[in-house]
Structure 1
């Protein structure tokens, strides 16, 4: 059996721990090691190797961040499937922070008092359970019905939404049946399951990062620890990008791929009624988490201290990755890796009562420090911007430029997130190579915030207005219509809440159903292996013409690449400012308060940014809706938005948070300049006094 440090205290002192090597260990233990390596099997030896732990932890955090970020990649699809408003979906996306914040202090207190690898494994299994719960509503709900005009016992065909007077009676029956108490109870059950899953996701993620980082720091060689943490960060930053990539692939598949109706479906991914297989990504991510969690139950509570320094240009690599490791996740969920480990390193020296007593005192003293407070407020503004963008930018791209949810996720996963990671690396390299002091770091943050703000201004003008939708939007200067829909469709007795859009391409007018366009027939044309549906004899179209199924394409779809490029460059510039701002916090507070100050910074970012920001952005998006789908008298999902208003309010919120960050850094520069001036005056006075004494 491999050596285990079972004697003595559970956690060696910091000074003793860092100097422990081969010569510091008892001779018997050192002499045992070669014999044990031959006696033990290779897998057993692996679990006493810190390098193998780093590999396992990199894979686990990548898989955990895939689950955390996957909901954001499919947020618009979940809204359509379960009839949620953007405010509700934003609250759902932010709800995992509730469980996380509520338990982080307890994790910080227990530190090494528990079996850290097993606690990480248990937390990972809870994360996997949360992923399975997120997918559960798909299996306990009825198959998705994209055509609610069709009776339950009929296939979802095209005739159900045509202009036929015989549809009046069945439509009223359907409307009454769909609003039963059982239907509403099932809807609340689905939403409740997802909120519960998000809470469990936050609770399960609590021990993963702090225990993993402290475990590596305790048993790795002192010079290798920064390198391992840098490798860990480099691997885990791929998690959000892979989550969007997974969402891009899954949303190309139909939601009920496991229970397809007879004859298949007649939708394409460009149809606004299309719902992708949002649940499949949660199952895949949960399976990866379970596989990644398995080794943690075989790691020892304490393993032998690593004895040798890696000969891989250790000085260059260790210095570079130690700064890179202070980065953060774009998407939401990945905070600096050493933040949560900080509290865990000091808390084991305190009793529960002492820990509770010391925390408020240090909190008040630290919050009274102007530099700390302003830098944290600037990071709160930046994190609020990032949280809102990560949650709702795919939806804004879908609506603004008429692209699919799959393509929107692909843009974020392949462009925005990688460039943001590059920005974090550049910021760390600038701080290290140029040896920036506090004043220079604050100036760099100020310039970065200003440039990020300027890059956002053109986004107000990249886009176009909502096309004309009959009965919902009207062209400027047009006469108001006497009823909700044009008079040409009045003989059809169409349902007001039906949704099967068609587009009059010649006039660029969209109708919510073929019935509202006065169409009485349909044809299906096959071309290049794909079927295209056309509705014929439409009385609301010039010359009783033919209209294709689906919404009208945006006239601004060619602007999607300039739009996402500007956002990506702005995100890169914003990411550059993170490492300098983190250094301002480390250099601005007292030495004895640094660990708890970093922990408080993490908590404030969670409470003030990651929790409220998605709800704020979702509420702002809801105010731009011009046509809601109704379910039992309540507003469900939004069918149409005012595109100009949507773009202006979403980008306006981003500008508001960027402006807040800019103001905070401007105040930091002013305070540091004043402190430098006062220090210069004191030095001059002291020098003159010394000369007089001489």
Structure 2
């Protein structure tokens, strides 16, 4: 088994050698460029793994682990906002930290690092993701669960004396304070967690550029045209499993309390619930580390690829590095910029990504806010159910492409059709509203606008602790409701009584010790049933993901099929840089600002306004979805222009497969505008 690839290579050379004599013993032994292993871990037993299928499988699995990290971050982002009091706009900036470093690294790495040992550089890139995971999780070990989370556990009261007395003291701190103003929460180092999260993202961006830019070009150089379509679909499918696994892992961890060893006094449906967000990062670090080790074992060039190259040019026994210069790079830039199909397809994707990025990052948050679902349910729906349809779309498109080999114009027309279907779905999101959720928000707005009572209670720095009052109205805290006393009813529920800011409504409390005709509120937000609307939203989202994923491979084929073979790696890096500048960096920041613009209740500290606890759901739904739909609509118009100019572009050329000329011209270009697994998440 150890020498099988070499034997096959020699057999493939026999017809050619009848006409031209090759140097003696040219392929008798694998040279350094085609030998598996690194350092002391080498041997003939490893050589049987140096195959195209094995590389594509491992590349897909490694890409899967990277996609898991991004999906896990998106799935836990609302918990990070609550724990470290991060506004949505700032979390948007943090989430694009990897795009910032990728923007600067992609073009340079694509041009200069492509001639090195790409698999080992890819292994280094995976190691940066290990650092990313460990650095992110370190926040929990540095800062702990936080006092606000610990106060909501049974052990906190037991550790500070009588559990009942501590519980009453915590509740009294939320009451109306008419004689003294409430003190603000000191957060002198609130910026440090944000800086750590941003630094971790920036580090991962360098690894992202190394892995995707070099990995895709390595795949392109080592695959034959006959296998490339199938291998592309296999690799994409494996990578698309990453978001599903990442979101599922986030859902599992968020069901556990931030300190799993403690017993919380609230349920996961309570907006104050904080899940064990840090736990998944340790699991992800181990998974990425294993992928990095295996990636180091692959050779600089696969033996099968070298055999095909030797058939063309036997004198090039070893790969020759390119003569790289700034002048040559500028010539390549001008050549790429003059390519109308590439430029139009690039900017079509950029506009589409700008509009769709908000759903990649903030869909769990959107489900929590609009449909009142827990963080675990929102993450599970986004990651497992919806992404299953994305994976199906990729596999289906791969089959159609390899089976029917459609023309470039047909591919561009399909991309435009998918864009317009996506626009229709986004507009449909506007009308998938939960009346109960909107009514709770509207009542809160009305209460705030007409409230002349709670200012005298000095509630500015009272922590968010919603209570449900008469007429199913949710109040921000007992203080905002003007409640003066607290106790428990017969069922053990916490009751806040003598609530002066609840108007004249009065409800009899039955046979409890608090029996009196007084306005009162029950601890926790008012119940809202939005499950039916949530299911409708989920169905529409799954349909959009099925069609949207089917256009991933079509965009790939159009984009770099139009580029010269020598511009392949550079076009990939340049496209990634441009996409980062115009879409992946500004989009999350813009939509984070847009979402924050409709915040009604901010958590306040002495130095900042912290995170948002309550949004104007209706206004947020209209603004976010219609803005995103407009951007995707522009992408559809640009795809129509791609359809016009792609009339002479050849995607598949079956006749040339029989000819031993310029294989690079016939290989399917396995790359995308975005050198990131985020493209494959939705």
TM-score by length of 1: 0.75
2: distance between equivalents of 1:224 and 1:470? Answer: 58
2: distance between equivalents of 1:436 and 1:165? Answer: 65
- 2:232 pairs with 1:233: no
Deviation at 1:378, TM superposition (A): 1.6
| Aligned partner of residue 639 in structure 1, secondary structure | strand
2:362 corresponds in structure 1 to 392
1:191 corresponds in structure 2 to 194
2:169 corresponds in structure 1 to 160
| Aligned partner of residue 548 in structure 1, secondary structure | strand
| Structure 1 gaps, min length 5 | 7-11, 310-345, 527-531, 676-694
2:634 corresponds in structure 1 to 660
1: distance between equivalents of 2:2 and 2:414? Answer: 50
1:513 corresponds in structure 2 to 477
Q: Deviations over 1:285-331 (max 9, x none)?
A: 1111112222344444455437999xxxxxxxxxxxxxxxxxxxxxx
- Of 645, 651, 673, which aligns to 2:619? 645
Q: Deviations over 1:363-404 (max 9, x none)?
A: 4323xx2x4333222211222233210101110110111100
| Aligned partner of residue 409 in structure 1, secondary structure | helix
Deviation at 1:211, TM superposition (A): 3.3
Judged with a 3 Å threshold, the aligned counterparts in structure 2 of structure 1 residues 446 and 206 are, in CA distance, closer, same or farther, namely closer
| Aligned partner of residue 305 in structure 1, secondary structure | helix
2:109 corresponds in structure 1 to 107
2: distance between equivalents of 1:67 and 1:2? Answer: 36
Deviation at 1:234, TM superposition (A): 2.1
2: distance between equivalents of 1:295 and 1:390? Answer: 29
Judged with a 3 Å threshold, the aligned counterparts in structure 2 of structure 1 residues 436 and 147 are, in CA distance, closer, same or farther, namely closer
| Structure 2 gaps, min length 5 | 309-318, 508-517, 650-682
Further displaced range: 412-421 or 47-56? 47-56
| Aligned partner of residue 265 in structure 1, secondary structure | coil
- 2:251 pairs with 1:248: yes
Deviation at 1:111, TM superposition (A): 4.1
2:581 corresponds in structure 1 to 607
Deviation at 1:646, TM superposition (A): 1.1
Q: Deviations over 1:471-499 (max 9, x none)?
A: 95217xx99332446xxxx6x76565332
- Of 506, 522, 536, which aligns to 2:487? 522
| Aligned partner of residue 148 in structure 2, secondary structure | coil
Contact 2:107 2:570 in 1 (8 A): no
2: distance between equivalents of 1:615 and 1:71? Answer: 16
- Of 135, 139, 142, which aligns to 1:140? 142
Write out aligned runs for 1:167-206 (5 A): 168=177, 174-175=183-184, 178-179=185-186, 183-184=187-188, 186-206=189-209
- Of 353, 360, 365, which aligns to 2:338? 365
- Of 320, 325, 341, which aligns to 1:352? 325
Further displaced range: 373-382 or 222-231? 222-231
Deviation at 1:277, TM superposition (A): 1.2
| Aligned partner of residue 50 in structure 1, secondary structure | coil
- 2:503 pairs with 1:542: no
Deviation at 1:576, TM superposition (A): 2.9
Write out aligned runs for 1:128-527 (5 A): 128-146=130-148, 157-162=166-171, 168=177, 174-175=183-184, 178-179=185-186, 183-184=187-188, 186-216=189-219, 223-224=226-227, 227-257=230-260, 260=262, 264-302=263-301, 304-305=303-304, 348-366=321-339, 369=340, 371-463=341-433, 464=435, 466-468=438-440, 472-474=444-446, 480-484=450-454, 496-504=461-469, 506-517=470-481, 518=483, 520-523=485-488
Contact 1:617 1:653 in 2 (8 A): no
Judged with a 3 Å threshold, the aligned counterparts in structure 2 of structure 1 residues 230 and 289 are, in CA distance, closer, same or farther, namely same
Q: Deviations over 1:151-186 (max 9, x none)?
A: 9995895423545899859985853xx33xxx32x2
Q: Deviations over 1:560-611 (max 9, x none)?
A: 0101211221232233334444444356566776665454333322322122
1: distance between equivalents of 2:580 and 2:61? Answer: 24
Deviation at 1:613, TM superposition (A): 1.2
Contact 2:213 2:573 in 1 (8 A): no
TM-score by length of 2: 0.77
Contact 1:270 1:550 in 2 (8 A): no
Judged with a 3 Å threshold, the aligned counterparts in structure 2 of structure 1 residues 26 and 54 are, in CA distance, closer, same or farther, namely farther
- Of 39, 61, 64, which aligns to 2:63? 61
Whose RCO is larger (CA < 8 A, sep 6+)? 2
2: distance between equivalents of 1:163 and 1:143? Answer: 23
2: distance between equivalents of 1:118 and 1:673? Answer: 40
1: distance between equivalents of 2:535 and 2:383? Answer: 14
2: distance between equivalents of 1:78 and 1:566? Answer: 28
Judged with a 3 Å threshold, the aligned counterparts in structure 2 of structure 1 residues 130 and 598 are, in CA distance, closer, same or farther, namely closer
| Aligned partner of residue 391 in structure 1, secondary structure | helix
- Of 515, 540, 543, which aligns to 1:569? 543
Deviation at 1:624, TM superposition (A): 0.7
| Aligned partner of residue 92 in structure 2, secondary structure | helix
